[in-house]
Structure 1
């Protein structure tokens, strides 16, 4: 099915694609006619593919953090996080190409305890400093296991972040909460009491792939 977060954009682009195909039949030249039909069909097919929203089944275990986005793990690092966790933390960065599903999902059960929109630049999403310099939303969830911070980061092409969360919302692992249109990244940041379950280069699926497991209760 088509994601509700991109339905309006999808309908506009789909209408443009159909219009291109219809106009193609006005050409007397068969080469131009076929060319415009192919262009229109490709635009329609890619748009439908991009805004797809497949069902996902989150893990049943409760002591884990799952990926909030589809894509590839491009970075794993340790950093000081001072906005929500206030500690030395582990960060996993996920890059979403234009061919990945772009619907974002909640990484863990809990309550939205931190929410911050940061205006910024539009550097390529896989640039190391994109998580600090690009436009983004920063979202913190708190539960009995601790705190998890995750982001939606805009990129060079992706300049539209959709997020329907607000402070105080109760959320469940795997729930849809928004999307980033046309490719970007998402970062997940946790403290040292979580065990890393992925490595750089791994492909992950939003709402399903486990990034971290809790190794001790606080």
Structure 2
């Protein structure tokens, strides 16, 4: 089952309205481009039903996309220890809703209004507009960062401080091409590799060591 998130309704509705206007006022063929665009927006804002297998030791991917970077981080402001960072790039064809990698409470939240550089550039995590969440439970602390790209001009968040998230629960999305960063302590085993395709709420990108 696939639904459409509410952020897509204005785009879909506007395109369908243009299709009707162009079809009657100009020519039936003139309705084709806005109608096709409306279909694309239905595709982009899709929210496919996912079966989330709860695993307290697992760190799930927060997004659909491709792993583009796995790098060490000397210190994270929220986690307060050396970490590893996994970067996931989402193209305009990927599902763009984002899911919580773990169950826990939001104990840190920061929004930075920055630039709109291409999401594959190395510096975008610092320069570009981004939304950072720190999530913790009794086992682990992690951070997830939604980063806007050259086409992604709005980061959508459906959560706030002290909200409790279930593992795999939807917490936001980024419009039109972007990337996410997941930062985890170094005692978490990384189970993905650069170039690997991942699926939000399904792919296990890390596992807490016993």
Q: TM-score range by the shorter chain?
A: over 0.9
Q: C-alpha separation between the residues in 1 aligned to 2:130 and 2:45? A: 20
Q: C-alpha separation between the residues in 1 aligned to 2:159 and 2:170? A: 10
1:120 is aligned, of 106, 114, 120, to 114
Q: C-alpha separation between the residues in 2 aligned to 1:18 and 1:132? A: 43
Please provide the CA RMSD for this pair: 1.6
**1:87 match: secondary structure:** coil
Q: Residues 124-139 of structure 1 correspond to what in structure 2 (within 5 A)? A: 124-139=118-133
Superposed structure 1 runs of 4+ greater than 2 Å apart: 4-23
Do 2:11 and 2:41's aligned partners in 1 also have CA atoms closer than 8 Å? no
Do 1:14 and 1:47's aligned partners in 2 also have CA atoms closer than 8 Å? no
Q: Quick check: which has more Rg, 1 or 2?
A: 1
Q: Residues 158-197 of structure 1 correspond to what in structure 2 (within 5 A)? A: 158-197=152-191
1:3 paired with 2:17, answer no
Do 2:130 and 2:147's aligned partners in 1 also have CA atoms closer than 8 Å? yes
Give the alignment's TM-score, normalised by structure 1: 0.89
2:93 is aligned, of 93, 96, 99, to 99
1:83 is aligned, of 60, 64, 77, to 77
Matched residue pairs, number?
Answer: 208
Unpaired segments ≥5 residues, structure 2: none
1:177-211 residue CA offsets vs partner (Å, 9 max, x unmatched): 11101110000000111010111111111111111
Unpaired segments ≥5 residues, structure 1: 28-32
Do 1:97 and 1:183's aligned partners in 2 also have CA atoms closer than 8 Å? yes
